[in-house]
Structure 1
Amino acid sequence: KLQIVWPNVIIMIALHIATIVGYWQMVNGSAKRLSGVFFFLVAIMSSFGILAGAHRLWSHRAYRAKWPLRALLAALQTMALQNSIYEWSRDHRVHHRYSETDADPHNAKRGFFFAHMGWLLCRKHPDVQQKGKLVDMSDLWSDPIVRFQKQYYIPLVAIFWFVIPVSLPIYYLGETWQNSILLNCFRYVLSLQNTWLVNSLAHMKGYQPYDRHISPRENHTVTYLSLGEGYHNYHHTFPWDYSASELGWKDNFNPATAFIDFFAWIGWAYDRKTPSPTVVNMRMARTGGYSRLQCRLSLSSLSILLDFILGLLWITWPLWTANLLNYILY
């Protein structure tokens, strides 16, 4: 029986109202343009805490990271405010193990809205709770950074989600408290919506070139908005690939992979896992539903450039649309 959690509903409605007002403050010029750029960058960096941290590092162990990178990712993941690393990773492991069943926290078979955000507005299905207890989380609990964040999650959220991002524009850019709080809500909800698209749209619309027997799909829109997480049919086929895509960031739009590769270049990330092209091609031949050309742009230099341009246009839409509307309306 569906049990709605009304406090969550009220909080979510309030956040979305604050988001709309915050965006309008950018449009009408009340908020400073540099404040909009600052909070856009906060949204991007906090997303890396989820994508490169909670997802690829801690949930899938797709690569290894030295403690400075783990500490940085933990701070960014806290800034994203999507539950602690431990809880996020546990739910994600359950999602992969029991995908599209009642044990899946955001079961896409229950509809787009439920998979997108409805699962956060109601009680978890009993199967989610029961199966979640069976998932081995000992590897995460052995990480002192994960334990520290889980133990002090509430005060850490107060610092990294609210105090730091809200205070900096006030003291360094001369922004008002009201605008800074509203823009912080805007960047937060923006990151949430982009993350949720991976659970909803990427499980319903797109191509299945790697495994046609599973629900997840390749979706370019999700890829652009989620900084590289839309290669979802591939990801569920090879969940241990640190790139979460067949290709790296040089041949298609995947900023999260570029983030990991940068820290590998300076020595903070290592043991990046990825299957060989032979393994990928054999899997596509055995279970794939579409040819490679049907699921992504060809690898000509023009197509790669176009992919990057489209990606940058999609992820920067809050900035250029606000300026465009300001020009048109004012």
Structure 2
Amino acid sequence: MAPNSIQNDEGLGVEVQPENLTPPKLTQIRHKILYVNLTYFLYWHLAAPYGIYLCFTSVKWETIIFGFVVFLAAELGVTAGAHRLWSHKSYKAKRPLEIILMLFNSMAFQNSIIHWARDHRLHHKYCDTDADPYNASRGFFYSHVGWLLTKKNKEVLKRGKTIDASDLFNNPVLQFQKKYAIPVFALCCFILPTAIPMYVWGETLNYSWHANLLRYTINLNVTFLVNSAAHIWGYRPYDKSIYPAQNVYVSLVTLGEGFHNYHHVFPWDYKTAELGNNKLNVTTWFINFFTKLGWAYDLKTVSNEIVRARAMRTGDGKDLWGWNDKDITDMDMEHTDILYSKTED
């Protein structure tokens, strides 16, 4: 779709002429609180500490292990699904993998994938400006969760209509999730994760419910850290002029999404990480596994030469992984996944 266009309900566009935005272009706005959202978030974040207490005192170890497995699945539904597959189209997936990722994503309950991916494309196009839904220029709290507790400002609403989401609206798996959002999210995120511990190994409703709310709240905040912490703290070895940064701690808890300076410079790379780097990148392992099964294919990545050239030209000179050492060769970098990847033109 042309850059200056407005999206209709089917994700198609008509022409408009918005003014250019450059970060951190901010206007004074009066935030309108969404009290329904605020109530939900308050409940989840009050229930989570009680869930922690129960995990240390009463919850069965099977429930804790099960909650961790659900956490990993839900996080992969966001990172490998909503983010790398559907927001950036950095690889392609066959229908069985799409269904798996949609169900995993529903365990995370962060709105429909269609809305998630559309907002994320808007974030990349207008990063850290008034048109960025989770604008880090407005501070940690706003970019972490405040944007979900307040009404979207007019620039986000206006520019959001310029984002081409036709591929999302035309995907039958995503259409299904959006059409049946309430039962799908209720079943995947709340009912089944609560019921399985109860009926399989005899956990109580109270313990199982609060353990799952703890898991869900952790899933939410882990994802939010990419929008907040990874836009504030860390190195910027590829572009020192932008907010997104390389943050090892965010990478650890988000299964590989904290290589954020790299990601904003090369958003089409399916690894979201440099030079085949798989350290702390569980999502890349997941995609590589399904590549071997033939369910993931056309993986896009960036050549070592382009990455190094960009770092030399616009980076801050920081070297987080040692790839710039003269005595380290490409073979030492263990980027074998490049062998079955495809470089973006």
- TM-score under structure 2 normalisation? 0.84
User: In the alignment, which residue of structure 1 is the partner of 2:123?
Assistant: 95
User: In the alignment, which residue of structure 1 is the partner of 2:52?
Assistant: 23
The structure that is helix-richer by fraction is: 1
Q: Is the 8 A contact 2:275 2:303 kept in 1?
A: no
CA distance in 2, matches of 1:296, 1:270: 27
What displacement does 1:247 show?
A: 4.0
CA distance in 2, matches of 1:142, 1:253: 33
CA distance in 1, matches of 2:186, 2:34: 23
1:171 aligns with 2:196: no
Moved segments of 4+, more than 2 Å: 247-250, 295-301
1:156 aligns with 2:184: yes
RMSD: 1.5
CA distance in 1, matches of 2:206, 2:178: 30
User: In the alignment, which residue of structure 2 is the partner of 1:328?
Assistant: none
1:285 aligns with 2:312: yes
Deviations along 1:49-74, one digit per CA (max 9) or x if unpaired, are 00000000000000000000000000
Give the gaps of 5 or more residues in structure 1: 302-330
- Give secondary structure in 1 for the equivalent of 2:300: coil
- Amino acid across the alignment from 2:35: W
Matches within 5 A, 1:176-191: 176-191=204-219
- Amino acid across the alignment from 1:112: F
What displacement does 1:297 show?
A: 5.6
Q: How many residues align?
A: 297
Matches within 5 A, 1:231-246: 231-246=259-274
Deviations along 1:263-312, one digit per CA (max 9) or x if unpaired, are 001110000000100111111111111232xx2367999xxxxxxxxxxx
- Amino acid across the alignment from 1:133: K
CA distance in 2, matches of 1:78, 1:23: 23
What displacement does 1:164 show?
A: 1.3
Match of 1:9 among 34, 38, 49: 38
CA distance in 2, matches of 1:173, 1:51: 30
Match of 1:296 among 307, 321, 334: 321
User: In the alignment, which residue of structure 2 is the partner of 1:265?
Assistant: 292
- Give secondary structure in 2 for the equivalent of 1:273: strand
- Amino acid across the alignment from 1:254: N
CA distance in 2, matches of 1:133, 1:154: 24
- Amino acid across the alignment from 1:221: Y
User: In the alignment, which residue of structure 1 is the partner of 2:80?
Assistant: 52
Cα pair distance change 1:96/1:2, threshold 3 Å: same
CA distance in 1, matches of 2:181, 2:245: 33
Q: Is the 8 A contact 1:260 1:269 kept in 2?
A: yes
Cα pair distance change 1:297/1:227, threshold 3 Å: farther
- Give secondary structure in 2 for the equivalent of 1:61: coil
CA distance in 1, matches of 2:275, 2:184: 35
Identical-residue share of aligned pairs (%): 46
